[in-house]
Structure 1
Amino acid sequence: MIRFGYKASAEQFAPAELLKYGVLAEELGFDSVFTSDHLQPWRHDDGHAPAALPWLGALAARTERVLIGTSVLTPTFRYHPAVVAQAFATLGLLAPGRVVLGVGSGESLNEVPLGIPWPDGKERFARLKEAVLLIQKLWREDRVTSEGQFYKVENATIYDKPETPVPIYIGASGPAATRLAGRISDGFITTSGKGAELYTETLLPAVREGAEKAGRQIDDLDLLIEVKVSFDDDLQQARENTRYWGALALTPDEKTGVEDPIEMQRLSDALPVERTETRWICSSDPEEHATRIAEYLDMGFKHLVFHAPGPDQERFLRLYSEQILPRLRERSA
């Protein structure tokens, strides 16, 4: 099944406004609504960081059909994995069959301000793996005692949980975490705009390798990619809209160790639009736009979640539902 979703940008919009867009996405025919979970936004001025868990509960109550979830939440520092297990089990009961727990290894911007020492990538990966396995165990068993390297539970029970566990998707941009997604998760999450070779030669083969090591096939997983798109009748406006999200165009070296939204904003605002637009599919031609997006379907991704950078999200949703989604559904059929 090919699905097309909407990324509700929690970093850009206030909770009530964001909820309105999530509900509208369902009304206009989108298949899913995903949101991120940040303690702090990428920008200090005009930035937002609503908590994902209560927001998803509100979205569940206001919608009937769309799949909803996080892309992504970090279950290893601010949250104990058991708390995440409890919260998403509850969401799974409120919206049966419609909830996804998307997880990742985290970013220092969200954890260091709470006084959490920021470990290296090897430890973050180990924490993520242990957390996912513990969450799955808590959903699978009635009474859990476990003492891992990082997390301990003793006679822990998640009393209220759906009969079918909430699927867990692992977000990753490197081969190790991607192989982990193939081995132990129900889906894989990544983001667009990083060069076709990364997806075709590194990430998707790593998912396949991980799945096969666990006796599964890659088709057993939902392959989700968050596609950065800026579509407008005015091409220059589509390009200018990407300025708000300039942080996405910063190199890892440029943003390593940046834990303050004010500093992240300063670095982002210093970039010209020629840099900020590089992570986005910017277009004013619907046919050309759909053709470029379809490249990800050709790679093998089955679930495309569209993230638009502009301030007028209602306009984006309506333009996309009228001009882009029909073209993509026709191609995918």
Structure 2
Amino acid sequence: MTRFGYTLMTEQSGPKQLVEYAVSAERLGFDFEVSSDHYSPWLAAQGHAPNAWTTLGAVAQATERVELMTYVTCPTIRYHPAVVAQQAATLQILADGRFTLGVGSGENLNEHVVGQRWPTVLRRQDMLREAVQIIRELFTGELVDWKGEYFEVDSARLWDLPDVPVAIAAAVSGERSVETFSPLADHLIAVEPDADLVKGWHGARKATGLPGDSRVIGQIPICWDTDRDAAVTRAHEQFRWFAGGWNVNADLPTTAGFAGATQFVKPDDVASSIPCGPDLDAIVEAVSEYWKAGFTDIALVQVGDEGQDRFLKEAAQPLLEKLRAAAA
């Protein structure tokens, strides 16, 4: 059965608001909640970037049932993988086994802040591979010494380990990353409804004798509003960064860079790729591309902090009902 999630978008809301939204989303019946992990918003108009791990710790204590996930953390530059392992283990304890560590190779927007050179995409994937290996070693609770190509770990051990092991989901985008991470991660994260990518992931895992119950986790932005014009305006103001595609999004370092790169993106351009307005059936149609491609878990991003409460109060529950009926 397809599961539907709610996105805690740290780029567009403050930490207290995110915790409130998380509680509301659980009450309304969302199956899981994912949190972005940013040091900066994509565009200045979004206006927020609280620490994801602190926020998720609060969410873990304020909720009871809903599963939690980072979507995604980059454990290579801004965070050392040994630190991410400790954060993930602690959060899993606070969440009583409801947490999944979602990891990816990151964006320059967030990682450049620590003053290190931004690597090429192939090097970033190699760094992520080594980081996941280190995190796995630390999750055993044993003393870890590591001297690799990119990282060193000196006599590190996690002293507080959860009863439920932390699952790892890796963001992949092509054949090379599928081959690299299918044996290392438990689940797949992808940002486009690519059936070939999903098939390749399952095939690669089967070829190495790994279990076939791997989840496929996607995410799609929507901008619900009773006024379609207001929804289009908000989506353009806050989410036009999406138009550049991930090859561009991964490399731009600042909000000013994203503003410049998207200055010629028109509201209609955004509305053609993000369902905007009150039509729930149009949202269902857009989301259906993911479960048709084999995704088991789909997280919705309601664009903008303004109107978030109204979306949760008026639209979220009937939308979930329609999505579950259509995906059945």
TM-score w.r.t. the length of structure 1 is: 0.91
Instruction: Describe how 1:1-333 pairs up with structure 2 within 5 A.
Output: 1-192=1-192, 199-201=194-196, 203-217=197-211, 219-243=212-236, 244-251=238-245, 257-310=251-304, 311-333=306-328
Offset, 1:89: 0.4
RMSD, aligned α-carbons: 2.0
Distance 1:18 1:269, change over 3 A: farther
Q: Is contact 2:72–2:104 with CA below 8 Å preserved after alignment?
A: yes
Offset, 1:228: 1.6
List alignment gaps of at least 5 residues for structure 1: none
Offset, 1:283: 4.9
Offset, 1:74: 0.3
Q: Is contact 1:180–1:210 with CA below 8 Å preserved after alignment?
A: no
Q: What code does the residue aligned with 1:169 have?
A: A
Distance 1:47 1:121, change over 3 A: same
Offset, 1:330: 2.1
Distance 1:180 1:210, change over 3 A: farther
Question: What CA distance in whole angstroms lies between the structure 2 residues aligned with 1:211 and 1:91?
Answer: 27
SS, match of residue 44 in structure 2: coil
Structure 1 window deviating more from structure 2 (95-104 vs 310-319): it is: 310-319
Offset, 1:206: 2.4
Q: What code does the residue aligned with 2:270 have?
A: T
Residue deviations 1:167-215, cap 9 Å, x none? 11111222322333422212111224xxx5xx023x1122123212321
Q: What code does the residue aligned with 1:317 have?
A: L
Question: What CA distance in whole angstroms lies between the structure 1 residues aligned with 2:215 and 2:88?
Answer: 18
Offset, 1:238: 2.9
SS, match of residue 184 in structure 1: coil
Q: Is contact 1:74–1:105 with CA below 8 Å preserved after alignment?
A: yes
List alignment gaps of at least 5 residues for structure 2: none
Offset, 1:46: 4.4
Question: What CA distance in whole angstroms lies between the structure 2 residues aligned with 1:183 and 1:306?
Answer: 28
Question: What CA distance in whole angstroms lies between the structure 2 residues aligned with 1:106 and 1:328?
Answer: 30
Q: Is contact 2:138–2:158 with CA below 8 Å preserved after alignment?
A: yes
Distance 1:206 1:330, change over 3 A: same
Residue deviations 1:114-153, cap 9 Å, x none? 2110111111001101101110111124212222111122
Q: What code does the residue aligned with 1:137 have?
A: E
Flag as ranges the 4+ runs of structure 1 deviating above 6 A: none
Question: What CA distance in whole angstroms lies between the structure 2 residues aligned with 1:60 and 1:240?
Answer: 33
Give % identity. 34
Number of paired residues?
A: 326
Identify which of structures 1 and 2 has the higher relative contact order when contacts are C-alpha pairs closer than 8 Å and 6+ apart.
Answer: 2
Offset, 1:254: 5.6
SS, match of residue 183 in structure 2: helix
Q: What code does the residue aligned with 2:223 have?
A: S
SS, match of residue 289 in structure 2: helix
Distance 1:246 1:60, change over 3 A: same
Q: Is contact 2:170–2:188 with CA below 8 Å preserved after alignment?
A: yes
Q: Is contact 1:181–1:210 with CA below 8 Å preserved after alignment?
A: no
TM-score w.r.t. the length of structure 2 is: 0.92
Q: Is contact 1:5–1:32 with CA below 8 Å preserved after alignment?
A: yes
Question: What CA distance in whole angstroms lies between the structure 2 residues aligned with 1:119 and 1:232?
Answer: 40
Q: What code does the residue aligned with 2:297 have?
A: H
Offset, 1:321: 2.8
Offset, 1:98: 0.7
